[in-house]
Amino acid sequence: MIIILVISGLALGSFINALVWRLHKTESSIKNKKDKKYSILTGRSMCPNCQHKLSPLDLIPVVSWIVLKGKCRYCHKNISISYPLIEVLTTILFIFSYIYWPYNFNGRGIIYFVIWLFLLVGFISLAIYDIRWLTIPNKILVWLFSLVIIQILVTFIFYHGGLHYLLNNIVGFLIGGGIFYILFQLSSGKWIGGGDVKLGALLGLYLSSPTYAILLIFFASILGSLYSIPLLITGKASRKTLIPYGPFLIISTFILILFGSHIRSWMHLKGLYI
């Protein structure tokens, strides 16, 4: 299973690199949007600098980058180290998810795990896109919403989720998106972006728990503060500096999916109830 996850993680990490780059190219230009070579479905792999089509030997995750010493075989320009790092990161997160998966690997647990891996691909793509360009693309969000709805339907139809389960999904959706929507409206988009509102709603829906939705916002706020406060103190950022919030929401979701039950048990032991 680890070998399968390593191969899948490296391959899908490479896909994430292509997806993020191609999506940005099409989103940033009407001309590029109409150019089929940038299509994630039909476009051929190419160098991000000279856009020369790449051969299979250029596309081996991590290995090709090392063999070519981080340069394009054709234009000899540097290829960012972020490419192999994203491939490795995806693989590590896949393996980590398998080791700490909170469900048994029976029918239901396997279905949830497979959906989770595909969600991870989307989450990593969103985080990278947000870090680089401070926006969250709707195309990836729609895909993720579709996966979450599939999981909800599978649970409701085949595993007796019941109305209480659906209600928890709805409340999680309202908490995750509602709090951010209020902040977005109060600040006219200065405190938080519209993409973060949609992402918060998506993650609240997926976590399917009001408690987890509240913890999602709490953990993301803590992580965001730990990142931004040092920047403010050192003068590397000001109050007007835009900071990507999506990655903190995604990291918080990762923590809650794998360790949420342990966190909730610890909270109950301490007399903390949400």
Report pLDDT digits (tens) over 59-81.
999 999 999 999 999 999 999 99
Instruction: Please check the confidence at residue 269 and state whether its pLDDT lies above 90.
Output: no
In 3D, which of 178, 224, 220 has the Cα closest to residue 201? 178
User: pLDDT value at position 267?
Assistant: 86
Q: Are residues 125 and 244 in the same domain?
A: yes
By CB atoms closer than 10 A (0-12, 13-18, 19+), residue 175 is buried
Last residue of a domain, one of 99, 128, 146: 99
Instruction: Please check the confidence at residue 105 and state whether its pLDDT lies above 90.
Output: yes
Stretch (H or E) spanning 164:
helix 162-187
* Tally of structural domains, the chain: 2
In 3D, which of 25, 256, 250, 13 has the Cα closest to residue 139? 25
Last residue of a domain, one of 64, 81, 99: 99
Q: Are 220 and 106 in contact (CB under 8 A)?
A: no
User: pLDDT value at position 274?
Assistant: 63
Q: Are residues 260 and 229 in the same domain?
A: yes
DSSP letter assigned to residue 54? P
Q: Model confidence at 41, in pLDDT bands (50, 70, 90)?
A: confident
Q: Are residues 232 and 190 in the same domain?
A: yes
User: pLDDT value at position 273?
Assistant: 66
Q: Domain of residue 200: give its range.
A: 104-274
Last residue of a domain, one of 99, 123, 149: 99
Q: Model confidence at 125, in pLDDT bands (50, 70, 90)?
A: very high
Q: Are residues 89 and 110 in the same domain?
A: no
Q: Are residues 42 and 172 in the same domain?
A: no
Cα separation, 81 vs 89, in Å, equals 12
Q: Are residues 14 and 85 in the same domain?
A: yes
Q: Are residues 200 and 216 in the same domain?
A: yes
Q: Are residues 72 and 118 in the same domain?
A: no
Give the relative orientation of helices 210-234 and 246-269 as an angle to the nearest 10 degrees. 120
Residue keyed to tokens 């992402």: 199
User: pLDDT value at position 189?
Assistant: 85
188 or 11, which is more confident: 11
User: pLDDT value at position 33?
Assistant: 82
Q: Are residues 70 and 93 in the same domain?
A: yes
Q: Are residues 95 and 77 in the same domain?
A: yes
Q: Are residues 238 and 150 in the same domain?
A: yes
In 3D, which of 91, 95, 116 has the Cα closest to residue 16? 91
Q: Model confidence at 124, in pLDDT bands (50, 70, 90)?
A: very high
